[in-house]
Amino acid sequence: MAEKQTYIRQTKTPLRVVIVGAGNRSLTYASYALTHPEELQVVAVVDPDGLRCNRLADLHGVAPDRRYASLAALFADGRIADAAINGTMDALHVPTSLPLLEAGYDILLEKPIGISKEEILVLLDAARLHDRKVMICHVLRYAPYYREIRRRIADGVIGDILNIQTGEHVSYHHMAAAFVRGKWGSKEQGGSSMLMAKCCHDMDLITWLKSGIPPVRVTSSGSLSFFRSERAPAGSGTRCLADCAIEASCDYSARKHYIDQGRWGPYVWRSIEHLGTEPTTEQKLESLRTDNPYGRCVWRCDNDVVDHQSVVIEFADGSTATHTLIGNTAKPCRTLHIVGTKGEINGVMEDGFFTVRHPDPRAGHEFTEERVRLNVSMDMHGGGDLRLVEDFIRCCRGEAPSLSTTSLDDSIYGHLLGFGADQAMEEGVWVTLERLES
């Protein structure tokens, strides 16, 4: 076991991190170092894809000899950083984190923690064995919207929680890009079910809002109903820009989504990155016409994950919660309604406010309400991404954790919920969840 070296900043020395997996999420988290170089410094990048490795490394001025194709090459140079930001794909999260822990690194780990209950429990044991910090990228805990709701619950504003209702509405273009045409459309390819890939945030929020009262059982129902070959409209082909007679009027046209609107570029154009950082429009169109998976008809892909799913949860104190994942909505949003013994809170994150209501039995009244307006960013998960990085730095310093801190021990119940919900959906049963020892 590596000797423990706690990073406690007593001067202006920044936290030194190695980026493992140089994809889109790592780019976002690492960007904190560009605006706060006195707090964070990227000193190494590990990624087998040379283009992606060099892109991130160039952005942060990483030395050529600190750009690695594998963890083995990184470890051969000894321990060169204080911590790691692990932004690999879902199935690689635990296999790459275990040797990082053994080598002495604290870790900021992209969600989901792993792809099975068994492997995330192995990671929990390893973190405890090596006495290292692991924080999970449940960035919505840091969004001003959810953080203020959690604070009010902690202050007893609505009393004890009786029921939580949450919903995630995934837009039609996000659904098509990530969960139909993209790498998360197939559990075998992406490593996770849609619930775990998209809604482990929401499972985490539900358990976080319950403030340490564990979930005891869960059930779920859902299916892949819409994005199936038998639902393909007349005139559709196999590829939007090759053999489709209705592309001009189709809501899922690859040309409309990825060329005209310019959406989801970091994913869509990965297959033509070798053409340079700015491929031409014609090069993009040609890729969509031929072999780019994002050019496929949404009704004729190899997707097998659900496009809608509902979850019901029971907690140890008898309270309940529901979460509904809805793919293919016109407007993306996250909804929330919490009912307590003294009042309730409800709202939509993207609206930038939530409402607190209390009963008011006075003559001529029914309830009182307060609208709490917040500065909510429309990107970076409601403004939470970089606040997460800031909190990770504080925790690595040895400072007291914030109300939002996503330690592995505290984040794991949301994952147990997700895995249990998927099992319950497949088997048509209630699944009992195990209690973890602290």
Q: Are residues 223 and 248 in the same domain?
A: no
- Note the residue count of the chain: 438
Looking at this protein, which amino acid is placed at residue 204?
D
What's the pLDDT at 401? Answer: 84
Does residue 60 have a pLDDT over 50? yes
pLDDT grade for 276, boundaries at 50, 70 and 90: confident
Reported as a single tens digit per residue, the pLDDT across 207-221 is 999 987 999 999 999
In angstroms, rounded to a whole number, what is the distance separating the alpha carbons of residues 19 and 1? 22
Q: Are residues 247 and 317 in the same domain?
A: no
Does residue 5 have a pLDDT over 90? no
Q: Are residues 336 and 427 in the same domain?
A: yes
User: Looking at the domain assignment, is residue 388 inside a domain?
Assistant: no
pLDDT grade for 277, boundaries at 50, 70 and 90: confident
Q: At what angle do helices 144-154 and 194-209 cross, to 10 degrees?
A: 40
Q: Are residues 128 and 52 in the same domain?
A: yes
User: Looking at the domain assignment, is residue 5 inside a domain?
Assistant: no
Does residue 377 have a pLDDT over 60? no
pLDDT grade for 400, boundaries at 50, 70 and 90: confident
How far is the CA of 166 from the CAs of 104, 142, 310, 311, 345, in angstroms? 38, 17, 10, 10, 12
Does residue 379 have a pLDDT over 60? no
Reported as a single tens digit per residue, the pLDDT across 127-164 is 999 999 999 999 999 989 999 999 999 999 999 999 99
Q: Are residues 47 and 164 in the same domain?
A: no
Q: Are residues 250 and 322 in the same domain?
A: no
What's the pLDDT at 382? Answer: 54
Residue 112 makes CB contacts below 8 A (sequence gap 6+) with 90, 93, 192, 196, 197, 200, 415, 418
The tokens describing 313, both together, are 């949860």
Q: How many CA atoms lie within 13 A of 263 on its CB side?
A: 16
Element (H, E) at 389: helix 385-397
User: Looking at the domain assignment, is residue 38 inside a domain?
Assistant: yes
- Of 72, 103, 132, the position where a domain reaches its end is 132
pLDDT grade for 9, boundaries at 50, 70 and 90: very low
Q: Are residues 348 and 220 in the same domain?
A: yes
What's the pLDDT at 435? Answer: 84
Closest CA to 148 of 338, 342, 397: 338
What's the pLDDT at 11? Answer: 45
Average of pLDDT values for 280-302? 97
Of 11-20, 180-189, 362-371, 418-427, the poorest mean pLDDT is in 11-20
Q: Are residues 49 and 127 in the same domain?
A: yes
The tokens describing 35, both together, are 């605006």
- Domain count along the chain: 3
Domain span including residue 289: 229-295
Does residue 376 have a pLDDT over 90? no
User: Looking at the domain assignment, is residue 6 inside a domain?
Assistant: no
Average of pLDDT values for 361-381? 82
Reported as a single tens digit per residue, the pLDDT across 184-200 is 999 988 889 999 999 99
Of 235-244, 327-336, 339-348, 368-377, the poorest mean pLDDT is in 368-377
Residue 181 makes CB contacts below 8 A (sequence gap 6+) with 254, 293, 294, 296, 298, 301, 303
User: Looking at the domain assignment, is residue 328 inside a domain?
Assistant: yes
In angstroms, rounded to a whole number, what is the distance separating the alpha carbons of residues 278 and 61? 21
The enclosing domain of 95 has a CATH number of: 3.40.50.720
User: Looking at the domain assignment, is residue 437 inside a domain?
Assistant: no
User: Looking at the domain assignment, is residue 399 inside a domain?
Assistant: no
Average pLDDT over the chain, rounded to an integer: 93
Reported as a single tens digit per residue, the pLDDT across 410-438 is 899 999 999 999 999 999 999 999 888 76
Q: Are residues 153 and 187 in the same domain?
A: yes
In angstroms, rounded to a whole number, what is the distance separating the alpha carbons of residues 14 and 191? 34
In angstroms, rounded to a whole number, what is the distance separating the alpha carbons of residues 311 and 40? 39
Reported as a single tens digit per residue, the pLDDT across 100-137 is 999 999 999 999 999 999 999 999 999 999 999 999 99
What's the pLDDT at 410? Answer: 86
On the question of a cis peptide bond just before residue 112, with omega within 30 degrees of 0, the verdict is: yes
- Of 250, 268, 295, the position where a domain reaches its end is 295
According to DSSP, the β-strands at 40-46 and 15-20 are parallel
Does residue 230 have a pLDDT over 70? yes
Closest CA to 417 of 199, 211, 179, 212: 199
pLDDT grade for 6, boundaries at 50, 70 and 90: very low
How far is the CA of 137 from the CAs of 29, 146, 402, 404, in angstroms? 10, 15, 14, 11
Average of pLDDT values for 366-393? 81
The answer to whether 186 and 275 are in contact (CB under 8 A) is: no
- Of 132, 162, 190, the position where a domain reaches its end is 132
pTM beyond 0.85: yes
Average of pLDDT values for 79-99? 97
User: Looking at the domain assignment, is residue 394 inside a domain?
Assistant: no
Q: Are residues 147 and 107 in the same domain?
A: no
Q: Are residues 213 and 252 in the same domain?
A: no
What's the pLDDT at 1? Answer: 38
| Bridge partners for 326 per DSSP | 169, 308
What's the pLDDT at 281? Answer: 96
Does residue 348 have a pLDDT over 60? yes
Does residue 393 have a pLDDT over 60? yes
Question: How many other CB atoms are found less than 10 A from the CB of residue 302?
Answer: 12
Q: Are residues 67 and 91 in the same domain?
A: yes
The enclosing domain of 318 has a CATH number of: 3.30.360.10
**Of all residues in the chain, what percent carry a pLDDT higher than 70?**
95
